[in-house]
Structure 1
Amino acid sequence: MHTMKRWNIDILLSEESEGDTARTWAEAGLSSEDGSALHGHGMARKHPLDLDVPEIGEELAVSRALADLSRQLRQVAAEDIAESTGTPWTQ
């Protein structure tokens, strides 16, 4: 038997700049078919002396949001394993 599922991750980016500094926030949202959802968050800050390259802040913020989402998903899996087996999962 072969099954296939698609999981989609939505990325929302927001940037705020003031003078020579800027902050970029990212939210990575994962929704499953059963209605459950997880949201990872990340932020990047531009130092006043850094070149103004918004893509770098976006990349850093998104990577941090995805890392946060990954951590949360791993925790859900660990809880599901413990519930299914009665034995805590050790990473």
Structure 2
Amino acid sequence: MHTMKRVSVDILINEESEGDTARTWAEACLDSEDGSSLRGHGMARKHPADEDVPEIGDELAISRALADLARQVRQVAAEDIQEHTGTPWRP
């Protein structure tokens, strides 16, 4: 039996700047077919002395949101393993 699935993650980015400082927030959204969803969040700050390169803030915020989402997916998998086997998952 061969099964193929596609899972999509939407990433929303919000940037806010004031003077020499800037903040970028990212949200990584994973919606499942069963109606459940997970949301990972990440944030990056530009130091006033840093060069203004918005792409760097985007990249950092996105990577942190994806890392948060990955942690949540691992937790769901660990809970499913314990529920189905009675044994805690150990990484």
Common fold by TM > 0.5: yes
Matched residue, 1:15: 15
TM-score, length basis structure 2: 0.98
Which whole-Å deviations, capped at 9, do the CAs of 1:3-27 have from their partners, x for residues lacking one? 1111000000000000000000000
What is the CA-CA distance between 1:32 and the residue it aligns to? 1.1
Within 5 A, what are the aligned runs for 1:35-46?
35-46=35-46
Structure 2 unpaired stretches of 5+:
none
What is the CA-CA distance between 1:60 and the residue it aligns to? 0.1
- Taking only aligned residues, the RMSD between alpha carbons, in angstroms, comes to 0.4
Aligned residue-pair number = 91
Which whole-Å deviations, capped at 9, do the CAs of 1:9-54 have from their partners, x for residues lacking one? 0000000000000000000000111111000000000000000000
TM-score, length basis structure 1: 0.98
Within 5 A, what are the aligned runs for 1:1-91?
1-91=1-91
Q: Percent identity?
A: 79
Which whole-Å deviations, capped at 9, do the CAs of 1:39-87 have from their partners, x for residues lacking one? 0000000000000000000000000000000000000000000000001
Structure 1 unpaired stretches of 5+:
none
